[in-house]
Structure 1
């Protein structure tokens, strides 16, 4: 198992249980105790947990885990969501917005062979993957980089978006519910994503089932700003029905 995958699973277990022991992690991850101790030391150095004698506790666990530790979560579901999302994009000319996030990153990967697309993104990791594709025109916003999500946010990002009119945008979220709408952990990121949505004719949310019915700290926009949600079958059925009642088309990948 790759270290990055182990780190993500350790944080998942901590978020679920509050504390873990080295012995538990050795059994769960089928890794050596030396590897687990190195993993815990690395995560503690990044203030993502606090080590104890024989294990770790979640007292120092960050509210929003960095993107590099979230990439392995529900990966197959996100790839299926991305494959469905790609069917919503015909050959160009088409202007397309992509916010940051693990699911939108999979959408970007699913679009690399399309032609005639102008892709606008504020996500540095997505930009790095698309920059060498001669069949795509890539526009990257300015802004202040967030290490947690690799997104460029703030007034500079929003000023660049104000001058654009997009046909379609795929938006990643930390929560989507019928009463709140779209939400994320960070208020500045929420505002930047709201500007992107306001400049887009059609907005599609791509989010795995764990985000459906969830409400994060900062609201991005109400349900009326969204045309469609593409998610997976693990999403709460009642929450999906409420979103459909709010006027959002729901598609299960």
Structure 2
């Protein structure tokens, strides 16, 4: 990822968290010049990711569900460790489900790099970016659900995706989430994605939720499934002990 994407990701996160910021505030937070911040704000405003104001910016409607390319820099080392641990759970011959997201994208790359899957695996996904990365991997039989693509996440949603998922069985679903609560379960920011993810859960024999600790202990807009539907949570070692204990009351927790 380029330095520019990392800077834009940080800038959008700050604007989303604070609602309204000025140029000097952003320059200090990102350790860059005010001229750089002004250029970045102008570029992001052109993409309708925020609204420019005199001397700063305010959050736009999209700021709470940032495009995937601007989320990749968040918790990157943690996501890499989670990806390696989850990829090791996959056995040869399995049918594996994988929804969209930054963590699941890293998991897809880890699966692509595995050379110890004789006979390969079948991978079912509703994420266009994941399908693009795995299409040339000879040890992975790729099944794409179909549906209507969301530009924010590259995920396919809608009745076409539902139709495909209704006809298959999944051995292991690797579920990326926007939030995961030890009592309420898994959540997504978008109701269409939540609906498809819920069906993937229903069609799976085992569900592993993969999420960095910043997403745990939180809820988002649309429920995917209750916590009882999740067999294992794989997260990073920054998970607070109290929260780990709360999850362990219902499911298996693996920290890496």
Structure-2-length-normalised TM-score: 0.92
Pick from 219, 231, 249 the counterpart of residue 215 of structure 1.
219
1:110 aligns with 2:110: yes
C-alpha contact 1:212 1:236 (8 A) present in aligned 2: no
Pick from 228, 231, 235 the counterpart of residue 235 of structure 2.
231
Give the aligned partner of residue 142 of structure 1: 146
Q: Which runs of 5+ in 1 are unaligned?
A: none
Q: CA deviation at 1:97?
A: 0.6
Matches of 1:67 and 1:140, distance apart in 2:
19
Give the aligned partner of residue 75 of structure 1: 76
C-alpha contact 1:194 1:220 (8 A) present in aligned 2: yes
Give the aligned partner of residue 100 of structure 2: 100
Matches of 1:16 and 1:233, distance apart in 2:
24
**What secondary structure, in the 3-state scheme, does the structure 2 residue paired with 1:118 have?**
strand
C-alpha contact 1:118 1:136 (8 A) present in aligned 2: yes
C-alpha contact 2:16 2:64 (8 A) present in aligned 1: no
Matches of 2:167 and 2:200, distance apart in 1:
10
Give the aligned partner of residue 255 of structure 2: 252
Note the alpha carbon deviations across 1:172-210, whole angstroms, 9 max, x for none: 001111221111111111111011111111110000111
Q: CA deviation at 1:59?
A: 5.5
Matches of 1:146 and 1:235, distance apart in 2:
30
1:126-141 matches, within 5 Å, as 126-141=130-145
Matches of 2:5 and 2:79, distance apart in 1:
18
Pick from 185, 191, 200 the counterpart of residue 187 of structure 1.
191
Residues 60 and 93 from structure 1, CA distance in 2 versus in 1: closer, same or farther, beyond 3 angstroms? closer
Matches of 1:153 and 1:61, distance apart in 2:
18
Give the aligned partner of residue 52 of structure 2: 51
Give the aligned partner of residue 200 of structure 1: 204
Matches of 1:59 and 1:47, distance apart in 2:
7
Matches of 1:111 and 1:251, distance apart in 2:
18
C-alpha contact 2:124 2:144 (8 A) present in aligned 1: yes
**What secondary structure, in the 3-state scheme, does the structure 2 residue paired with 1:147 have?**
coil
Matches of 2:142 and 2:60, distance apart in 1:
41
Matches of 1:133 and 1:60, distance apart in 2:
38
C-alpha contact 2:15 2:63 (8 A) present in aligned 1: no
Q: CA deviation at 1:61?
A: 5.3
Note the alpha carbon deviations across 1:100-144, whole angstroms, 9 max, x for none: 000000000101133311111000010111111122111111111
C-alpha contact 1:175 1:184 (8 A) present in aligned 2: yes
Q: CA deviation at 1:60?
A: 4.8
Pick from 241, 245, 250 the counterpart of residue 245 of structure 2.
241
C-alpha contact 1:204 1:228 (8 A) present in aligned 2: yes
Matches of 1:134 and 1:167, distance apart in 2:
20
Matches of 1:123 and 1:16, distance apart in 2:
27
Give the aligned partner of residue 18 of structure 1: 19
Aligned residue pairs total: 251
**What secondary structure, in the 3-state scheme, does the structure 1 residue paired with 2:146 have?**
coil
